[in-house]
Amino acid sequence: MECAKDYQAIISAEGKLAFVIPAGMTAPGNAPQIVYNGGNSALLYRSSGDVMVLDDLHPQVREALVQVSQAVIIETDRQTGYTLYDYAANVKKITTR
């Protein structure tokens, strides 16, 4: 599990959510998913064995994660600035007791 230390979260005027993250070493899987429990961080499952922690979520991003069913993920090469992968990830909300 890797922690995304350098990522950006963007919320559009329509409430759509996107994350710009450093590109993974491999292409994302067929069904990427964000798992969110309402806390300070979320887990991005790029594939079943490739998980990235989106930590220190801004309060507005936390609110957006509760509202949306999908988020756009943009993976970039930080040295060149090029987008290597872009895709939609379903947002799965879980509750803790």
Q: What is the pLDDT of residues 30-69, one digit of tens each?
A: 999 999 999 999 999 999 889 999 999 999 999 999 999 9
Gap between the Cα atoms of 55 and 5, Å rounded: 8
Tokens representing 73?
Answer: 């993920």
Mean pLDDT for the stretch of residues 82-91: 96
Coil, strand or helix: which one is 14? coil
Is the distance from CB of 31 to CB of 89 less than 8 angstroms?
no
Tokens representing 21?
Answer: 């993250």
Whole-number pLDDT of residue 97: 58
Q: How confident is the model at residue 1 (pLDDT cuts 50, 70, 90)?
A: low
Is the distance from CB of 83 to CB of 76 less than 8 angstroms?
yes
Q: How confident is the model at residue 81 (pLDDT cuts 50, 70, 90)?
A: confident
